[in-house]
Amino acid sequence: MNKESQKLDVSGLNALVWKEGDLFVAKAVEVEIVSQGRTKNQALKNLEEALDLYFEDEEPSSKKVKPFRELELHQISGKFNYA
């Protein structure tokens, strides 16, 4: 079996994208992988490349990553103390 056919299927993962200064940040929700770019599309493309590298050596049957469904983003109001 070639390396391409052994890849872990992570299609359909979700990403949050926001702007920090002059760059866009893209974060995979299901795994803790983050990337950035000058545009939203570039940040998402860079995130896809980072996910490819992250899962590069994973055995397809060893770990299943399932996309979250029905995600909602909520703001938390209140004051928080930082240590």
* Residue 37 domain-assigned (yes or no): yes
Number of domains in the chain: 1
* Residue 71 domain-assigned (yes or no): no
> pTM score, two decimals?
0.73
Length of the chain in terms of residues written = 83
* Residue 25 domain-assigned (yes or no): yes
Q: What is the pLDDT of residues 13-54, one digit of tens each?
A: 899 999 999 999 999 999 999 999 999 999 999 999 999 898
* Residue 39 domain-assigned (yes or no): yes
Q: What is the pLDDT of residues 66-79, one digit of tens each?
A: 888 888 888 888 88
Question: Which residue has 């926001």 as its token pair?
Answer: 18
